[in-house]
Structure 1
Amino acid sequence: MLSTHSDVLIVGAGSAGSVLAERLSADSARTVTVLESGPGPQQSGVAALTRNGLQLPIGAASPLVARYQTELTDNPQRVAQVVRGATVGGSGAVNGGYFCRATPADIAGWGLPGWSWDDVLAHFRAIETDLDFGDGPDHGDHGPIPVRRVRELTGSTAAFAEAAQRAGLDWLPDLNAAEALSTSVAGVGAVPLNIVDGIRTGPGAAFLERAARRPNVTVRTSTRAVGIRIDAGSATGVAVIGPDGPTTLTADRIVLCCGAIGSAHLLMLSGIGEEAQLREAGVPVTVPAPVGSHCADHPEWVLPTNWTVEPSRAVLEVVLNIHNEIEIRPYTGGFIAMIGEDGGGRPDWPHLGVALMRPRSRGRVSLVSADPAVPPRIQHRYDSVAADVEALRRGSEFARELTSAATEVGASAWATSQHLCATAPMGTDDDVRAVTDPQCRVRGVDGLWVIDGSVLPAVPSRGPNATIVMLAHRAAEFVAG
């Protein structure tokens, strides 16, 4: 019979939860339980889907994702679907393998004690084995996640890189090098990918699957957390619904790793959030906090092209970065090819993505019901700052001009990079937007941490997955301590 009490209870086996479980369970005297709402790799077909780095297993029939509706813009209202991984490894098990780091300027911008570039570089190095640059000072050569860049560019990727270099932009051989991460650099380079020889090695495979073999680790899959039990100001347990029905699991320390949507939703369901919003939803207020009130993501405009779709390639092999403000992404295939589905006779369409990497706009995740089965309302509000819209317009015109000799480019459409962060941001005592402190502890509740993209004070100016893995590797010592 599985124990209902552990030293550490980790809610969510995504990128952050997987790393935390491995790090904390290295002490054989510490019992660690990990909850995951989706299936694990031992279930039929799951490992084959998550390891195949040449496709995104996020199609309509995928058992590995959760779907949410979001409002991208307000005027006019444009809606879209947000897809998050719901399996061991989380979104890191179903994504395109982009493993670029946050920049030193991103980290410095947090303004948090214990979070300088010198503090985090060792953790970036510890999580990876960089197969291209592992012998240099910027990279690791003993970490569990292999990283490699595509060496031979073909098709649309090659055409895009050639167009960028003809326009006078530098080729950046290592987008994770100190020079490429500086704000003064503009250029095109191969994306560091945690996909090697077609195999995706996300944090679930790299960290949690190894840790799950330890006798002090219990992984409960298909088990959903629906509320945190808080007694006399301390988190003591989590109400869950699993294969055997509802129960409560208790722990000395509880860590939420459900992602920017899931962790914020669980906090609010548990009475930690904005007072008026909680009362309107019928949830008693435990701790007033600005949960979900100032989140951020990368807005993206998608431009269809007539480049030939490239099958059996990673979905994004190079990017063009302009001063860490705009990232132009020549996706290798159309969306149908990316997710490996039958298009039903519809033609596929490859495309360019133009993403704003330092957006000024801020969104909101709100509780609408005390019923855990009712998803929160998500509002990205991408059109709320005119300067953001103008930057996307300029970036799209640049992308159009850059590639005009190689492809036709159609009209742009609003999209999202699905990099939502900052729903429970870290901050100092005087930060009115902070939900967690610089050690990821939830303010006002003892024994409760949030460690995932929720606590990043802002979305990094690169895709956030590598930064979230680093965050968990760094923050494990806060929970252990």
Structure 2
Amino acid sequence: MSAGWHSDVLIVGAGSAGCVLAERLSRDPACHVTVLEQGPGLSDSLIARLTKNGAVLPVGLGSPVVRHYPTSLTSHPHRPVRVVRGAVVGGSGAVNGGYFCRAVPEDFTRWQLPGWDWSDVLEHFRAIETDLDFNGPLHGRGGPIRVQRCREISENTELFVHGAVEAGYSWIADLNGPPVPQGIGPIPLNIVDGVRHGPGWGCLQPSLHRANLTLLTVTTVLRVRLNANRAVGVQAVSPEGPIAPTADRIVLSAGAIGSAHLLMLSGIGDENALRKAGVPVEVRLPVGQHCADHPEWVLSTSWGTDVDRPVLEVALHTADDLEIRPYTGGFVSMIGDHRRGHPDWPHIGVVLMQPRARGHLTLASDDPRVLPHIEHRYDSEPADVAALRQGAELVREHWSSKTQLGEPMWSTSQHLCGTAPMGNDGDACAVLDHQCRVRGVENLWVVDGSVMPTIPSRGPHATIAMLAHRAAEFVSAG
């Protein structure tokens, strides 16, 4: 293959969205699809073990399948942490805890976008999954991602459930079923019998035999090449050296951080920020200006760590947009680091699922190797802080008799999204139109967690896989 070959569709990033999108588009044998992925593929035995083991999050500093990005959770005081993103075929869906709850219908009502009502997206939620527990019109039975809830829960989780029931919360057997304002139930997981079933293994890997589908791994895209506001190709570096593939349609599916970074490196973004970084301005758009994540307060417990369990087995949803999570292990056990001398306690997490705070992601340099500057700004909205405090008090009220609780500490759910949101004409926050096309640029789409106008009320993985399945129709139509 030459360094400048041409494709019908070029997808940058083989994360959850890119894998779903590539599988969908390459079903048409007349459409040649090329996928460029910065991380390794799944054929290596070590990578296969790391991404399949659903009991461990392979996200530590030495992991070969993730990338770490510095951020600040709050401004007063400054609380630095690392955001972790999967850098492997399958993306973050190949290294996460398997949480596969869907966004709720009200989330799409908030979007107010044509083609994105609940009635539009349900069929795509169903198409991506095989639900092993539930059948019927709300669930899929023939999709590539297997979904199951824990049939047996750990002792710690059982104590948490008892506390919730004693507090008057009802049991919800299916959190992907008809919406219920509050209650506790088992998490739908794309982990079955201890094996993680993400879009990498479920969608892309089984499709690589197709003659019209090409995957290049360990290949870093540096920027999108524009010609008179028309995307024509990318500049990238592969193990063999620089390459400059071209395509009729280019899709950025590099994740909420990666896709926004590439847009800005290509001259698409906030004018002042681009000029400050030394990047010529091509198209002025508010890239990275209104992103969001799920802020979390965690309280340590005196419960013992349960190894070889999913990180999260159940979750409690309250009527005021809080999700209370009893983690089965501490962070040390989650990442598989069981060396002596590491204190480790499971935590209860208090998560605000509809935060008001918005963060910023900006370009730090015109050098693609320099990571972007990220600020979560979780403390910028007093109402968010008050809601988290109320959630911590709720935890103390109902579970302090069952475990010794520590003081709440700031954390993040690692769900950054909305860095290049869709929006209608006249929306000052919109980077994309309602079909994921970059405004002001021909033949360029973004399809991943970047595109969500507001953060979903559940963890985003299932929703990202769904929207990629939905957006394949838009890209295919051109």
Residues 401-425 of structure 1 deviation map (CA, whole Å, 9 limit, x = unaligned): 2111110000111011010011000
CA distance, structure 1, for counterparts of residue 329 and residue 271 of structure 2: 46
Cα shift at 1:154 = 2.4
Aligned equivalent of 1:197: 193
Residues 86-108 of structure 1 deviation map (CA, whole Å, 9 limit, x = unaligned): 00000000000000000100011
Q: Per the alignment, in what secondary structure is the counterpart of residue 383 of structure 1? A: helix
8 Å CA contact 1:427, 1:433 repeated in 2: yes
Alignment identity in percent? 61
Does structure 1 residue 423 correspond to structure 2 residue 423? no
8 Å CA contact 2:362, 2:374 repeated in 1: yes
Aligned equivalent of 1:453: 449
TM-score between the two structures when normalised by the length of structure 1:
0.98
Once the two structures are superposed, the pairs formed by residues 12-161 of structure 1 within 5 Å of their partners are: 12-133=13-134, 135-161=135-161
Cα shift at 1:344 = 3.9
- In structure 1, which of residues 405, 417, 438 is the aligned counterpart of residue 434 of structure 2? 438
CA distance, structure 1, for counterparts of residue 312 and residue 330 of structure 2: 11
CA distance, structure 1, for counterparts of residue 122 and residue 148 of structure 2: 19
CA distance, structure 1, for counterparts of residue 197 and residue 241 of structure 2: 32
Aligned equivalent of 2:213: 217
Aligned equivalent of 1:371: 367
8 Å CA contact 1:155, 1:308 repeated in 2: no
- In structure 1, which of residues 265, 275, 284 is the aligned counterpart of residue 271 of structure 2? 275
Does structure 1 residue 261 correspond to structure 2 residue 262? no
Residues 303-342 of structure 1 deviation map (CA, whole Å, 9 limit, x = unaligned): 1001111111000000000126100110001111111113
In structure 1, what residue type is equivalent to 2:37? E
- In structure 2, which of residues 365, 378, 398 is the aligned counterpart of residue 402 of structure 1? 398
CA distance, structure 2, for counterparts of residue 472 and residue 343 of structure 1: 39
Cα shift at 1:194 = 0.4
Q: Per the alignment, in what secondary structure is the counterpart of residue 22 of structure 1? A: helix
Please identify, of 336-345 and 250-259, the stretch whose mean Cα deviation from structure 2 is larger.
336-345
CA distance, structure 1, for counterparts of residue 413 and residue 17 of structure 2: 19
Cα shift at 1:300 = 0.3
CA distance, structure 1, for counterparts of residue 233 and residue 256 of structure 2: 21
Q: Per the alignment, in what secondary structure is the counterpart of residue 26 of structure 1? A: coil
CA distance, structure 2, for counterparts of residue 434 and residue 218 of structure 1: 32
Residues 369-403 of structure 1 deviation map (CA, whole Å, 9 limit, x = unaligned): 00000000000000000000000000011012211
In structure 1, what residue type is equivalent to 2:101? C
Residues 124-163 of structure 1 deviation map (CA, whole Å, 9 limit, x = unaligned): 0010011110x22110111111110011222111110111
Runs in 1 of length 4+ with deviation above 2 angstroms? none
Aligned equivalent of 1:469: 465
8 Å CA contact 2:286, 2:429 repeated in 1: yes
- Unaligned 5+ residue runs, structure 1? none
CA distance, structure 2, for counterparts of residue 268 and residue 94 of structure 1: 27
CA distance, structure 1, for counterparts of residue 417 and residue 75 of structure 2: 20
Number of residue equivalences? 476
CA distance, structure 1, for counterparts of residue 186 and residue 35 of structure 2: 35
CA distance, structure 2, for counterparts of residue 423 and residue 57 of structure 1: 25
In structure 1, what residue type is equivalent to 2:32? T
Does structure 1 residue 341 correspond to structure 2 residue 337? yes
In structure 1, what residue type is equivalent to 2:149? R
Does structure 1 residue 175 correspond to structure 2 residue 171? no
8 Å CA contact 1:32, 1:217 repeated in 2: yes
Aligned equivalent of 1:4: 5
CA distance, structure 2, for counterparts of residue 64 and residue 212 of structure 1: 20
Aligned equivalent of 1:319: 315
8 Å CA contact 1:324, 1:357 repeated in 2: no
Cα shift at 1:295 = 0.4
CA distance, structure 1, for counterparts of residue 277 and residue 75 of structure 2: 23
In structure 1, what residue type is equivalent to 2:383? A
CA distance, structure 1, for counterparts of residue 212 and residue 320 of structure 2: 43
In structure 2, what residue type is equivalent to 1:172? I
In structure 1, what residue type is equivalent to 2:178? A
- In structure 1, which of residues 288, 291, 296 is the aligned counterpart of residue 284 of structure 2? 288
Q: Per the alignment, in what secondary structure is the counterpart of residue 379 of structure 2? A: coil
CA distance, structure 2, for counterparts of residue 150 and residue 346 of structure 1: 28
Cα shift at 1:212 = 1.3
CA distance, structure 2, for counterparts of residue 136 and residue 336 of structure 1: 40
In structure 1, what residue type is equivalent to 2:5? T
CA distance, structure 2, for counterparts of residue 44 and residue 191 of structure 1: 29
8 Å CA contact 1:11, 1:36 repeated in 2: yes
Aligned equivalent of 2:239: 243
Does structure 1 residue 165 correspond to structure 2 residue 126? no
8 Å CA contact 1:324, 1:358 repeated in 2: no
TM-score between the two structures when normalised by the length of structure 2:
0.98
Does structure 1 residue 252 correspond to structure 2 residue 248? yes
CA distance, structure 2, for counterparts of residue 140 and residue 324 of structure 1: 29
Cα shift at 1:245 = 1.3
8 Å CA contact 2:154, 2:328 repeated in 1: no
8 Å CA contact 1:310, 1:333 repeated in 2: yes
- Unaligned 5+ residue runs, structure 2? none
In structure 2, what residue type is equivalent to 1:326? L
CA distance, structure 2, for counterparts of residue 375 and residue 318 of structure 1: 35
